[in-house]
């Protein structure tokens, strides 16, 4: 097995005797993430074992997002995702996130490009259990997550309310993941122009420059990037 991608959360190997056979290996039991890929059929024909520590599938290529960007740069002279690719990425990641929330009451504290994997240059999968947290209901019957560990802006795209967390443990609205996902998609659409995408005013300005303005994807991003967490939603309308 030839290791082609490796980070703190997983590694991906390619079978040396069959270059179209790939496996994703996790450090420990990971039924949640594996089922979020299997059950949503983002990767067709994928299989796992009873121990839920690996996922095996057939593909023509498996790339980290940054290697995928290099190919975009070489082919299109730009790091920006096309509208169709951005739409496919959004659909895959929203499908995976919705499965995690619906069937396991879990969501990500944030999304990072370093955990984004592209299969066959058209299927997008998010692989990270480090920041995958339980959604719980507090006394006000509001769905939130309990943060019990420190994090930084280098870990993932931060929702604005995370900047206000001064101590742990701390509760945060579970829709923190909606903002981070919207942030990640916006960054991919901007490509070379995504630098300094931190402040609210900058995000609003960058949104107005998008060529996809007034499309379904544009309005989805608008609803994800609302500052007030309770008002966020993920809808294609």
SS3 label, residue 104: helix
Percent residues over pLDDT 70 in the chain: 92
2, pLDDT greater than 70: yes
pLDDT score for 194: 58
Residues 98-144 pLDDT 10s: 999 999 999 999 999 999 999 999 999 999 988 999 998 766 666 89
The pTM score is: 0.91
Residues 195-207 pLDDT 10s: 655 555 567 677 7
Q: How far is CA 105 from CA 92, 144, 191, 197, in A?
A: 18, 10, 32, 30
What is the pLDDT of the chain when averaged over all its residues? 89
What is the second-level CATH architecture of the domain 62-231?
A: Orthogonal Bundle (1.10)
Range with the lowest mean pLDDT among 42-46, 94-98, 207-211? 207-211
72, pLDDT greater than 80: yes
Residue written as token pair 């995690």: 100
Alpha-carbon distance of 176 to 186, in angstroms, equals 16
Tokens of 234: 């993920």
Is the CB of residue 112 less than 8 Å from the CB of residue 156? Answer: yes
User: Domain residue spans in the chain?
Assistant: 62-231
Average pLDDT over residues 64-89: 90
Q: Where are the alpha helices (DSSP H) in 24-82?
A: 31-38, 65-76
pLDDT score for 115: 94
Q: Which residue has the higher pLDDT, 196 or 58?
A: 58
For residues 156-194, one letter each, b for 16 or more C-beta atoms within 10 angstroms of the residue's C-beta and e for the rest, the string is bbbbbebeeeeeeeeebbbbbbbbbbbbbbbbbbbeeeb
């Amino acid at each position: 097995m030839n290791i082609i991608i490796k980070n703190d959360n997983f590694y991906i190997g390619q079978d040396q005797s069959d270059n179209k056979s790939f496996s994703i290996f996790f450090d420990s039991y990971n039924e949640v993430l594996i089922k979020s890929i299997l059950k949503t059929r983002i990767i067709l024909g994928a299989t796992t074992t009873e121990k839920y520590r690996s996922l095996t599938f057939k593909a023509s290529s498996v790339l980290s997002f940054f290697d995928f960007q290099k190919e975009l740069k070489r082919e299109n002279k730009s790091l920006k995702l096309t509208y169709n690719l951005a739409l496919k990425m959004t659909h895959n990641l929203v499908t995976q996130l919705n499965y995690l929330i619906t069937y396991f009451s879990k969501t990500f504290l944030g999304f990072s490009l370093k955990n984004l994997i592209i299969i066959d240059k058209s299927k997008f999968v998010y692989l990270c259990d480090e920041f995958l947290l339980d959604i719980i209901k507090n006394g006000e019957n509001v769905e939130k997550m309990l943060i019990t560990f420190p994090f930084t802006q280098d870990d993932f795209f931060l929702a604005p309310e995370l900047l206000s967390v001064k101590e742990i443990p701390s509760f945060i609205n579970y829709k923190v993941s909606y903002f981070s996902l919207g942030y990640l998609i916006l960054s991919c659409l901007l490509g070379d122009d995504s630098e300094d995408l931190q402040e609210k005013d900058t995000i609003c300005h960058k949104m107005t420059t998008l060529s996809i303005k007034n499309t379904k994807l544009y309005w989805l991003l608008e609803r994800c990037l609302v500052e007030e967490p309770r008002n966020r939603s993920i809808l294609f309308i």
